[in-house]
């Protein structure tokens, strides 16, 4: 199935493919249910006419038995089958939930990395992935509802046409413009809802800041609750205004249609009164037709208008869906890391590498060149925005659209399988993940959940995390974080050490620490780096930081400035050179309360 070319027709086929039996049941049920109003009109007219004849003594009681049986069948079908339909749809919803979550997760995992960092693409991704289940389930349900309303309305119109042809034609002529207005309103409402969702995402984040426990300390320290509460209220009001505008448009559209159609039905009934007097139509037919006409008002001026607006909303959502599935993908982005036991890391080299982020004009790296050798520890330093993390994104293959060459063991890094590259490189980023599961899972996820008890214990001991094993209720199987009721919360330093233990357990040959300790104070960060340096043995490591006191133990320091390597050497030689590094370190010296 081609996911990025869905239109309403293909959407129906897509849904049927996932829920073939349930969809077939719903189609048959919808057709039968749609014929029930006309069925009721005919049976009710027959019942009233028969009952009048019995009352007048013109017929025996047995003449009303069949109409009564048919009315009981009508009541049974409309009530019992509705419950059956709800059960069938619940099962269908479960199936499509699993299916949609899978394909959306697959697509998101394959996206090229620049889509993740692009604000416009992120808005698109959020719109598509926010509640796709509701859009698909309600979308298909609305298509069936539309079919039901059209069939039931046409069947009633057919009855009216057989009695008053001009009245039926007049109703059709009035409702066609209402459908057009409903479609137009639906499109406009979806556009408004896009802006509404942006605001909701923003004020939801503010709500999280005001409510969540992890922000409690800073809320008390900086007393920002009142300021952000006001901002939350303002944004909430903005969203409410948009939602009110949407609701007003919907209400105005429906009620204007209702008034016009209701007036038309009133005129039709007035026209039918002379026919009733002249006995051209029976009392039963008149009453049944009056009941059917009122039902037709509901269908064509309200329900069908709502259905048209929802159909238009689905149309706009499918455009976003198609755009999302049309976003470019990275080859093998979702493939698991592949360990090559024969690979031995020898060196990494940048040769005149220049790079700028997509849809921007400024080069982050410009003719950047440097070499790194195995079994050494390097540090990339520089001010924020100098390009340190960008270098890591290129090494890890997140971006490939650069000029120049990146050589891994003398071979262009683009020639390596991405799965193999994942197995060679392990990174702890500044915004590392805090997996709210067990302590053990937080570590072994670094090796696709392969568990080596002895190796995990050794890493825990080296990183001074033995308290997590000895003091927690269930040791390494204790859940951590706030998502689980019994979860134990960890300190920031413990979370960071867990992230580093993940990197060590992955046993990669290229290890990168991209400012994972940035949230710590400078001395705590320095101690963490020293600890990692002592336990990483002869591993190849790249440290990234803008705090220079933390990486004096590196074999070589590369200072990134203006998109290239401006200075390189060890701490001592760079201090003696009295260049950029010397000036930066001198300004930070007091952070560490020590001399150079």
Burial class, 72, CB count within 10 angstroms (exposed 0-12 / middle 13-18 / buried 19+): exposed
Length of the chain: 596
User: What is the model's pTM?
Assistant: 0.69
Task: Give the lowest-confidence range in 19-33, 194-208, 224-238, 446-460.
Answer: 194-208
3-state secondary structure of 357: coil
Instruction: Examine the pLDDT at 540 and tell me if it is beyond 60.
Output: yes
Tell me the CB-side half-sphere exposure of residue 255, using CA atoms within 13 A: 6
Instruction: Examine the pLDDT at 158 and tell me if it is beyond 50.
Output: yes
Q: What's the whole-number mean pLDDT along residues 566-577?
A: 93
Placement of tokens 């049976």 in the chain: 43
Q: Which residues contact 233 (CB under 8 A, 6 or more apart)?
A: none
For residue 193, what is the enclosing H or E element? helix 165-211
What whole-number distance in Å separates Cα of residue 448 and Cα of residue 525? 28
Distances (CA, A) of 517 to 390, 521, 540: 18, 8, 19
Q: What is the pLDDT of residues 100-147, one digit of tens each?
A: 888 898 888 888 888 888 888 888 888 888 888 888 888 888 888 888
Q: What's the whole-number mean pLDDT along residues 393-422?
A: 92
CB 542 within 8 Å of CB 374: no
The pLDDT, as a whole number, for residue 10 is 85
Q: What percent of the chain has pLDDT over 90?
A: 14
In sequence order, the β-bridge partners of residue 381 are 545, 559
The pLDDT, as a whole number, for residue 79 is 82
Q: Band of the pLDDT at 595, cuts 50, 70, 90?
A: very low
Instruction: Examine the pLDDT at 593 and tell me if it is beyond 60.
Output: no
Task: Give the lowest-confidence range in 88-97, 290-299, 380-389.
Answer: 290-299
- Cβ of 565: how many Cβ atoms within 10 Å? 18
CB 479 within 8 Å of CB 487: yes
Q: What is the pLDDT of residues 73-96, one digit of tens each?
A: 888 888 888 888 888 888 888 888
Q: Band of the pLDDT at 299, cuts 50, 70, 90?
A: low
Q: What is the pLDDT of residues 226-260, one digit of tens each?
A: 676 777 677 767 766 766 766 666 666 555 655 66
List every span in the chain annotated with CATH 3.40.50.300: 377-383+417-592
What are 468-475's contacts with CB under 8 Å, separation 24+?
468/439, 468/494, 469/439, 472/439, 475/439
The pLDDT, as a whole number, for residue 135 is 87
Chain-centroid distance, C-alpha 120? 14
Q: What is the pLDDT of residues 205-222, one digit of tens each?
A: 666 666 665 555 555 555
List every span in the chain annotated with CATH 1.20.1560.10: 8-197+248-325
Instruction: Examine the pLDDT at 179 and tell me if it is beyond 70.
Output: no
Please state, rounded to an integer, the average pLDDT across all residues of the chain.
Answer: 79
Q: What is the pLDDT of residues 57-77, one digit of tens each?
A: 776 677 778 888 888 888 888
Q: Which residues contact 432 (CB under 8 A, 6 or more apart)?
A: 495, 496, 499, 516
Give the DSSP letter of residue 408.
E
**Sign of the CA dihedral with 210 first, then 211, 213, and 214 last:** negative
In sequence order, the β-bridge partners of residue 428 are 513
Distances (CA, A) of 571 to 236, 391, 559, 568: 52, 21, 11, 9
The pLDDT, as a whole number, for residue 180 is 65
- Cβ of 267: how many Cβ atoms within 10 Å? 12
What whole-number distance in Å separates Cα of residue 417 and Cα of residue 343? 13
Chain-centroid distance, C-alpha 76? 41
Instruction: Examine the pLDDT at 594 and tell me if it is beyond 60.
Output: no
CATH 2.60.34.30 is held by the domain 8-197+248-325: no
Q: What is the pLDDT of residues 470-494, one digit of tens each?
A: 777 788 888 887 766 677 878 777 8
What whole-number distance in Å separates Cα of residue 277 and Cα of residue 275? 5
The pLDDT, as a whole number, for residue 596 is 42
* Of 91 and 273, the one with more pLDDT: 91
Q: What is the pLDDT of residues 337-353, one digit of tens each?
A: 777 778 899 999 999 99
What whole-number distance in Å separates Cα of residue 548 and Cα of residue 545? 7
Q: In what order do the strands lie in the sheet with 347-355?
A: 365-373, 347-355, 403-408, 411-412
State the fold for domain 377-383+417-592.
Rossmann fold (3.40.50)
Q: Which residues contact 596 (CB under 8 A, 6 or more apart)?
A: 575, 585, 586, 589
3-state secondary structure of 431: coil
Q: What percent of the chain has pLDDT over 70?
A: 76
3-state secondary structure of 528: helix
What whole-number distance in Å separates Cα of residue 463 and Cα of residue 532? 7
Q: Band of the pLDDT at 391, cuts 50, 70, 90?
A: very high
């Amino acid at each position: 199935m081609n996911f990025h070319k869905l239109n309403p027709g293909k959407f129906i086929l897509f849904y049927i493919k996932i829920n073939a039996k349930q969809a077939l049941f719903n189609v048959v049920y919808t057709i039968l249910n749609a014929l029930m109003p006309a069925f009721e009109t005919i049976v009710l007219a027959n019942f009233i006419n028969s009952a009048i004849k019995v009352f007048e003594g013109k017929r025996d009681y047995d003449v009303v038995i069949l109409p009564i049986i048919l009315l009981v069948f009508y009541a049974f079908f409309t009530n019992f089958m509705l419950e059956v339909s709800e059960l069938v749809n619940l099962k269908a919803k479960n199936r499509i939930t699993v299916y949609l979550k899978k394909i959306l997760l697959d697509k998101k995992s394959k996206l090229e990395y620049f889509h993740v960092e692009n604000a416009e693409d992120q808005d698109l991704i959020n719109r598509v992935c926010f509640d796709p289940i509701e859009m698909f389930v309600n979308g298909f349900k609305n298509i069936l509802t539309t079919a039901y309303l059209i069939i039931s309305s046409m069947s009633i119109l057919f009855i009216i046409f057989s009695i008053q042809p001009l009245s039926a034609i007049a109703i059709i002529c009035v409702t066609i413009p209402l459908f057009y207005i409903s479609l137009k309103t639906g499109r406009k409402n979806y556009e408004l809802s896009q802006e509404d969702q942006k605001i909701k995402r923003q004020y939801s984040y503010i709500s999280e800041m005001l409510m969540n426990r992890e922000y409690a300390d800073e809320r008390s320290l900086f007393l920002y609750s009142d300021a952000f509460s006001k901002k939350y209220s303002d944004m909430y009001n903005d969203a409410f205004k948009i939602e009110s505008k949407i609701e007003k448009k919907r209400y105005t559209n429906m009620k204007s249609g209702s008034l016009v159609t209701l007036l038309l039905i009133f005129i039709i009934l007035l026209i039918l009164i002379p026919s009733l007097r002249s006995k051209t139509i029976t009392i039963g037919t008149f009453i049944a037709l009056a009941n059917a006409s009122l039902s037709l008002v509901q269908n064509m001026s309200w329900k069908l208008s709502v259905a048209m607006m929802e159909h238009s909303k689905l149309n706009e959502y499918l455009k976003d869906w198609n755009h999302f599935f049309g976003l470019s993908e990275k080859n093998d982005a979702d493939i698991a890391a592949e360990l090559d036991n024969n690979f031995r890391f020898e060196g990494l080299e940048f040769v005149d590498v220049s790079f700028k982020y997509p849809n921007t004009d400024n080069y982050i790296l410009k003719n950047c060149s440097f070499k790194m050798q195995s079994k050494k520890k390097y540090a990339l330093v520089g001010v924020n925005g100098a390009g340190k993390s960008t270098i890591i994104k290129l090494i890890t293959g997140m971006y490939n659209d650069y000029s120049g060459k990146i050589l891994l063991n003398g071979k262009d890094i683009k020639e390596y399988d991405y799965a193999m590259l994942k197995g060679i490189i392990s990174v702890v980023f500044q915004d590392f993940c805090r997996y709210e599961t067990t302590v053990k899972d937080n570590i072994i996820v670094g090796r696709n959940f392969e568990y080596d008890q002895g190796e995990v214990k050794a890493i825990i001991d080296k990183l001074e995390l033995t308290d997590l094993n000895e003091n927690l209720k269930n040791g390494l199987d204790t859940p951590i974080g706030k998502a689980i009721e019994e979860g134990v919360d960890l300190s920031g330093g413990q979370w960071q050490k867990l992230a580093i233990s993940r990197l060590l357990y992955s046993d990669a040959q290229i290890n990168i620490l991209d400012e994972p300790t940035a949230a710590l104070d400078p001395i705590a960060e320095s101690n963490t780096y020293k600890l990692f340096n002592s336990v990483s043995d002869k591993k190849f490591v790249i440290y990234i930081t803008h705090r220079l006191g933390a990486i004096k133990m590196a074999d070589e320091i590369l200072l990134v400035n203006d998109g290239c390597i401006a200075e390189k050497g060890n701490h001592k030689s760079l201090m003696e050179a009295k260049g950029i590094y010397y000036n930066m370190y001198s300004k930070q010296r007091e952070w560490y309360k020590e001399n150079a």
